[in-house]
């Protein structure tokens, strides 16, 4: 062919981080069919959906089989019932004013984080290093150059705003993937103040907010002034075990504007053109998550994973391995022992203990020498992994 392709793809690493770890794990499993490999790698949940969610899905499935209650295309932004349920969660549980028309339901945070670049122009892009790779990859794909914000042990993996006046698009993730670091109110306010002062936009990834157990902000909109400078993207994957069910949402204040453009309307236009909505059955499942019973059952699920994190953390403490995270977060971020770099520690754990983790360097250059373990395994597998690590480290 002689067509022009998007040559920006040439600037990406050949593989998406989790495709690469999965590929290595598949190869190892194929070569060692007799060994039980335990994944503490990608943050994929293992516990079944909450009973209230299953009941809602079953009811919705039956509705789809009856002429009178059958539904076709879902509204692009979500049915009113789910937009209202999510806005109600903000208002009643987080004490934050969000309106239903500010909530856009999508098929997960990954898609919305990847697609949000569609409504943005050519700006300075600030991305923490290390962080969830989708921010970086989606900006590279759209031909944007990125300025990295070092997240290191020195700043407790929580970068602070630059000392300049350049209007920028800033990605923040708190609780952070992969380090587990969480911004407190004061530190987050510094970002909001910076954004307001410079005319910048914060894209706030709150996918792990339901893991917060201390007095820390669950949402960027908990900070005064954020409605003038922020978008929030969240997911039911980690909050309610929807990794395979697929639902997330983006909150864009109805008054958020840059120049003559209203970002809420732009995203609505983008979604109407490129997205046909989340399936009705899934939206009913999502609605169930935000009921009193749903929030209680999902909190139990999150508590289960936090207990796994505690078990892993206790072992690392016992072994004198430096780590952070594991509280207010499902991820444990450890310093590779014995001078291993991230990928060689990945290989070492796989070879010697049949445990898959995620190399820190995959989240950015500052992650080199670090390693991420997830608490999303089953209790049985987590305990077995802990026992294996106890022997190995």
Q: Which residues of this chain interact with ligand MLT, rule CB under 6 A?
A: 42-44, 110, 132, 177, 237
Burial class (CB in 10 A: 0-12, 13-18, 19+), 30: exposed
Compute the least distance from the CB of residue 55 to ligand MLT, in Å.
26
Which stretches of 208-291 are DSSP H helices? 237-240, 263-274, 280-289
- Nearer CB in complex with ligand MLT: 275/333: 333
Between 207 and 285, CB nearer to ligand MLT: 207
Q: CB atoms < 10 A from the CB of 70, how many?
A: 10
In terms of CB distance, is 42 or 50 closer to ligand MLT?
Answer: 42
Nearest CA to 243 out of 301, 295, 291 is that of 301
Provide, rounded to whole angstroms, the least separation between the CB of residue 331 and ligand MLT: 8
Nearest approach, Cβ of residue 194 and ligand MLT (Å): 26
Nearer to ligand MLT, 198 or 374 (CB): 374
Instruction: Note whether 376 and 383 are within 8 A (CB).
Output: no
Residues 360/372, Cβ–Cβ less than 8 Å: yes
> What strand order describes the sheet that includes 370-374?
323-325, 331-335, 370-374, 358-359
In terms of DSSP bridges, do strands 103-106 and 124-129 run parallel, antiparallel, or are they unpaired? Answer: unpaired
Cβ-proximal residues to 379 (8 Å cutoff; 6+ apart), any chain = 304, 307, 308
60 close to 280: Cβ distance less than 8 angstroms: yes
- Residue 127, strand partner residues: 148
Shortest distance, CB of residue 173 to ligand MLT, whole angstroms?
A: 10
Of the two residues 101 and 243, which places its CB atom closer to ligand MLT in the complex?
243
Least spacing, CB of residue 113 vs ligand MLT, in Å: 9
Q: Is 280 or 343 the residue whose CB approaches ligand MLT more closely? A: 343
| Residue in the shown chain whose Cβ atom is closest to ligand MLT | 43
Least gap, CB of 199 to ligand MLT (angstroms): 30
Nearer to ligand MLT, 132 or 290 (CB): 132
Question: Is 347 in a helix, a strand, or coil?
Answer: helix
CB of 98 to ligand MLT, least distance (A): 23
Task: Give the CA distances from residue 174 to residues 38, 58, 112, 228, in Å, rounded to whole numbers and listed in that order.
Answer: 27, 34, 17, 19
The least CB distance from residue 109 to ligand MLT, in Å, is 7
Burial letters 223-232, b for 16+ CB under 10 A, else e? beebbebbbb
Q: Of the two residues 121 and 244, which places its CB atom closer to ligand MLT in the complex?
A: 244
């Amino acid at each position: 062919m002689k067509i022009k392709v998007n040559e920006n793809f040439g600037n990406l690493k050949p593989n998406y981080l989790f495709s690469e770890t999965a590929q290595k794990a598949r190869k190892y499993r194929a070569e060692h069919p007799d060994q039980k490999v335990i994944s503490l790698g990608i943050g994929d949940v293992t516990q079944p959906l909450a009973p209230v969610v299953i009941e809602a899905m079953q009811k919705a499935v039956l509705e789809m089989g009856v002429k009178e209650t059958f539904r076709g295309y879902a509204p692009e932004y979500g049915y009113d019932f789910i937009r209202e349920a999510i806005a109600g969660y903000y208002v009643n549980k987080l004490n934050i004013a969000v309106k239903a028309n500010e909530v856009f339901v999508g098929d997960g945070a990954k898609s919305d984080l990847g697609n949000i670049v569609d409504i943005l122009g050519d700006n300075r892009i600030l991305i923490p290093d290390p962080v969830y790779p989708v921010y970086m990859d989606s900006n590279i794909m759209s031909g944007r150059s990125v300025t990295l914000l070092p997240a290191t042990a020195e700043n407790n993996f929580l970068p602070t705003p630059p000392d300049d006046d350049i209007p920028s698009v800033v990605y923040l993730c708190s609780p952070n993937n992969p380090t587990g670091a969480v911004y407190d109110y004061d530190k987050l306010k510094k970002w909001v103040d910076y954004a307001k002062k410079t005319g910048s936009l914060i894209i706030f990834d709150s996918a792990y907010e339901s893991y917060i157990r201390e007095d820390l902000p669950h949402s960027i909109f908990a900070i005064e002034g954020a409605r003038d400078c922020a978008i929030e993207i969240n997911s039911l994957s980690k909050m309610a075990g929807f990794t395979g069910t697929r639902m997330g949402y983006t909150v864009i204040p109805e008054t958020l504007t840059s120049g003559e453009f209203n970002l809420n309307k732009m995203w609505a236009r983008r979604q109407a053109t490129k997205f046909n909505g989340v399936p009705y059955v899934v939206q009913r499942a999502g609605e169930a998550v935000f009921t009193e019973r749903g929030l209680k059952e999902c909190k139990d699920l999150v508590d289960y994973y936090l207990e796994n994190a505690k078990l892993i953390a206790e072992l690392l403490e016992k072994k004198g391995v430096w780590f952070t995270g594991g509280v207010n977060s499902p991820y444990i971020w450890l310093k590779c022992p014995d001078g291993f770099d991230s990928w060689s520690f990945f290989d070492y754990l796989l070879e010697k203990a049949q445990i898959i983790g995620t190399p820190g360097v995959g989240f950015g250059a500052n992650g080199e020498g670090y390693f991420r373990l997830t608490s999303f395994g089953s209790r049985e597998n987590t305990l077995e992994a802990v026992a294996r690590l106890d022997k190995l480290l």
